[in-house]
Amino acid sequence: MAVGGDGTINEVVNGFFEEEQLIATDAELAVIAKGTGSDFSRSLNHAVPSGERRLIDVTKVRYTAIDGVRPSRYSINVTSFGIGGEVAARVNRPAKSFGGRMAYLAGMLRTALSYSGKLVTIELNNSQTIEEKILNVAAGNGQYQGAGMRVCPGAILDDGLLDVTVIRDISLRELATGLGQLYGGGIYSHPKVQAYRVNRLSAASKESVFVEIDGESVGKLPIEISILPKAIRVWMPRFPAD
């Protein structure tokens, strides 16, 4: 049982797996949302009625740590790189005490003041290559990031696919005016946003591009992300009314 936010849930999920397999095949993950962001719980609450069990996907992420080693970690919600990785490093626990959404929004806008787009090479399904100057790339199993931003509004927890949202380099003004689309789920209609649905993604850059996994800053590019379909059984306990 994970009682907390996205970082807590991620830590618990990573205790379930070894070599892409459940350590105990009959283990289930119960989630009680008590975090500042609780973005995964938003997606789970929409997809799985309270009290019901459902097998959902997990992603495996191999990234580059700051010391250059290449560890792997499992993600149940969203992995992103670009400004998302920078913001995750900035938004610390004291800031989160003022409220998850305000902390992430303030952190993003503050970071955007000095952030410049990064030239990255992205390979999708080992077949399609994109070379683009980006603000952010989000690879989602869940829909939400940053305390309610719908970065991957088409993501489905159990479809065996990874929803990838590529936000090309945009100005601070464009970012500010597009916040309504970001929070409201209309991000795909923005002219500088591209969406893909894949089961594998890799990305690299000659620049330093930071990575976050389920809201936690972990390292930088290069990165490899793959989907593990219906890998874990998850549910949200139903509690009796007071």
Residue 72 sits in a domain whose CATH number is 2.60.200.40
Measuring CA to CA, which residue among 72, 204, 200 is closest to residue 126? 200
In a domain, 121, yes or no: yes
In a domain, 5, yes or no: no
**Tens-digit pLDDT profile for residues 169-187:** 998 889 888 888 988 999 9
| pLDDT over 90, % of the chain | 74
The 3 state secondary structure assigned to 145-196 is ECCCECCCCCCCCCCCCEEEEEEECCCHHHHHHCHHHHHHCCHHHCCCEEEE
* 3-class secondary structure, 238: coil
In a domain, 12, yes or no: no
In a domain, 37, yes or no: no
pLDDT for the residue 216: 93
Q: Which stretches in the chain have pLDDT values below 70?
A: 92-100, 239-242
Residues in the chain: 242
The answer to whether the pTM exceeds 0.85 is: yes
**3: which 2 tokens?**
């009682």
In a domain, 222, yes or no: yes
In a domain, 53, yes or no: no
User: Which residue segment(s) compose the domain that 223 sits in?
Assistant: 59-229
End-to-end CA distance of the chain: 22
In a domain, 210, yes or no: yes
**Tens-digit pLDDT profile for residues 120-176:** 999 999 999 999 999 999 999 999 998 899 999 999 999 999 999 999 999 888 988
The backbone torsions φ and ψ at residue 198, rounded to the nearest 5 degrees and listed phi first, read -140, 175
> Token match 């969203």: residue?
78
In a domain, 194, yes or no: yes
| Torsion from C-alpha of 132, 134, 140, 142, nearest 10 degrees | -150
Number of domains the chain is built from: 1
pLDDT for the residue 213: 97
